[in-house]
Amino acid sequence: MNTKTIFNQIITTVGWLPIVLSLCAVVPGAPRKAAVYYSDGRVLTGEIALTSGRRFKLNIPKAGKLKTTDVVTGADVQYGKVRQFTLEPVKEIRFYPEREEIRQDWKFTETTKYDEKTAVADFTPAQKKLWGESYPLRYITTEVVFGSGETIAGHLYSVVLYLKTAEKTSRIILRSKQRGAKGSKMADLVYVTKIKLLDEGRAMASELTLVFEGLTLEPGDVVQALTRDSLTPVPTERDEHGEQPGTCVVKATFGEDIYLAVKKGQTCLVGWPAPQDPALFDLARDHLQRQRDFYNDKKLIGVMKSKDGREVLTLVNLRRRFAPTNFGKIGGEWDKALDTIVEPWRLSIWRWKYDPTHQELLLSSRGTFFRRIFLPEDPTPRAEISAALGQMRRENNTIYIGKTGSH
């Protein structure tokens, strides 16, 4: 397929945001050598790639319960979250049937006898009636093994891969739910059982050690890391037995760099560039206030532009406040255990798509450092920018944080 065919597109515009509709194919990302195994015994070997700019999204359903009465940190913070990653750190992806069923279309039928003289109707209970041919249905669980040895399992969001063999380039559509044609059998519903990457991929550590220089961590301080690309809060734990005092261990970053925040009492310090662009700050604050969201009390703390200038990141202190109105108390949430209204709080990073020509921002994703539930009379934790926390120097699997560090 030549470049002209690949990039044959229709460009439409909705407001300032361009939408690209491909007529043919899309451009794959960086390829890796892989073997794809199918349930019918076939094995295809070649170069495999994701669509350019796309990532795997894996929902992890079986995990702990998010805390709502305290700061969510450590292992609890990743539970129930959608983890995102590319092909680079992956070693193997395995697919297992979670449940298989043979189903048939159905409808409810109901017959009624109506006496016109007495105007009395005899309603018979509705009955479920099957009709048409049966079809197979399969639910699939995905297990991902990373080069670091870490493994996660869950339900994969639908994603398209491209496999280039010696004969042709094929599309592989991965789904967490398969439905076969009517009249077919379960064995006819072929699926990918394994994708094994045959090259080394990108080296990554299963754990990162954080060493703080110039910042003393007190016993009650809480440290939280947030991945830079997917904005996912990952397990961050104090290492009381480390070689240096005040060290932390960060897990499950899957090769991503991190943002860092430290909660010291009622003050949250976030690693962020200290110089702020006044014009960009005003633009972000305007869009933040206009953004309709669950949180009605939104305070902008910091703003910075991505390296390519196409995105803007904002550090925001959020709270859902309630207010009495003529229709009752609006906002907040009702806590059954406390039998009163409570107000959720978050310290988050919001990512926006940035159009510098028209000076417009479009919210695209968000990630949270800390979360907590407060009573209406409780004060909101104060958020501050810390340039020192944003200065990082990495040596192998250790990150030194402080004034002596640098990006």
Tens-place pLDDT, residues 346-380: 999 999 999 999 999 999 999 999 988 888 899 99
pTM here is 0.76
pLDDT in tens, 61-88: 754 443 333 344 444 444 447 888 889 8
Q: How far apart are the first and last CA of the chain?
A: 40
| Residue 348 tokens, joined | 């988050």
| Residue 215 tokens, joined | 């910042």
Bridge pairing between strands 82-85 and 177-179: unpaired
The mean pLDDT of 253-265, rounded to a whole number, is 90
Q: How far is CA 52 from CA 25, 28, 31, 87, in A?
A: 11, 5, 10, 11
pLDDT in tens, 232-248: 888 888 887 766 667 88
Q: Which pLDDT band holds residue 13 (cuts at 50, 70, 90)?
A: very low
Check residues 291 and 200 and name the one with the higher pLDDT.
291
Among 10-19, 68-77, 107-116, 364-373, the least confident range: 10-19
For the chain, give the mean pLDDT: 82
Among 36-45, 182-191, 196-205, the least confident range: 196-205
Which pLDDT score, from 0 to 100, does residue 340 have? 83
Which pLDDT score, from 0 to 100, does residue 42 have? 94
- At 19, which amino acid appears? I
Quick check: 96 pLDDT over 50? Answer: yes
Yes or no: say if 33 and 197 are a contact pair by the CB < 8 Å rule. Answer: yes
The mean pLDDT of 297-323, rounded to a whole number, is 92
Phi-psi sector, 117: left (phi>0), alpha (psi -120 to 50), beta? alpha
Closest Cα partner for 348 from 291, 402, 309, 393?
A: 291
Closest Cα partner for 175 from 148, 156, 162, 149?
A: 156
Quick check: 343 pLDDT over 80? Answer: yes
| Residue 29 tokens, joined | 């990302």
Bridge pairing between strands 112-115 and 17-22: unpaired
Closest Cα partner for 211 from 393, 89, 67?
A: 393
Report DSSP state, residue 118.
T
Check residues 72 and 255 and name the one with the higher pLDDT.
255
Q: How far apart are CA 85 and CA 24, in angstroms?
A: 26
Which pLDDT score, from 0 to 100, does residue 193 have? 95
Yes or no: say if 263 and 74 are a contact pair by the CB < 8 Å rule. Answer: no
Instruction: Quote the Cα angle for 27-33-39, to 5°.
Output: 95
| Residue 121 tokens, joined | 């109707």
Rg value, the chain, Cα: 26
| Residue 91 tokens, joined | 């070693």
What is the Cβ-side half-sphere exposure of residue 50, based on CA atoms within 13 angstroms?
Answer: 14
Helix (H) / strand (E) containing 16: none
Percent of the chain whose pLDDT exceeds 70:
83
Which pLDDT score, from 0 to 100, does residue 325 have? 59
Q: How far apart are CA 286 and CA 277, in angstroms?
A: 14
Instruction: Quote the Cα angle for 143-145-147, to 5°.
Output: 165
Which pLDDT score, from 0 to 100, does residue 156 have? 93
E strands within 147-239?
151-156, 159-164, 169-174, 177-179, 192-197, 207-213, 222-227, 233-234, 236-239
Q: How far is CA 379 from CA 78, 101, 320, 337, 403, in A?
A: 26, 53, 13, 21, 31
Quick check: 29 pLDDT over 90? Answer: no
Which pLDDT score, from 0 to 100, does residue 314 have? 96
**What is the 3-state composition of the chain as percent helix, strand, coil, each rounded to the nearest 5?**
5, 55, 40
Which pLDDT score, from 0 to 100, does residue 275 have? 79
| Residue 321 tokens, joined | 């406040």
Phi-psi sector, 331: left (phi>0), alpha (psi -120 to 50), beta? left
Q: How far apart are CA 209 and CA 222, in angstroms?
A: 15
Which pLDDT score, from 0 to 100, does residue 139 have? 94
Q: Which pLDDT band holds residue 20 (cuts at 50, 70, 90)?
A: very low
Which pLDDT score, from 0 to 100, does residue 73 have? 41
Quick check: 185 pLDDT over 70? Answer: yes
Write the DSSP string, 12-62.
EEETTEEEEEESS---B-S-EEEEEEETTS-EEEEEEEEBTT--EEEE--S
- On the 0-12 / 13-18 / 19+ scale of CB atoms within 10 A, 230 is buried
Instruction: List the chain domain ranges.
Output: 25-197, 207-402
Q: How far apart are CA 287 and CA 374, in angstroms?
A: 26
| Residue 34 tokens, joined | 């892989």
Percent of the chain whose pLDDT exceeds 90:
42
Helix or strand or coil: residue 379? coil
Which pLDDT score, from 0 to 100, does residue 79 have? 41
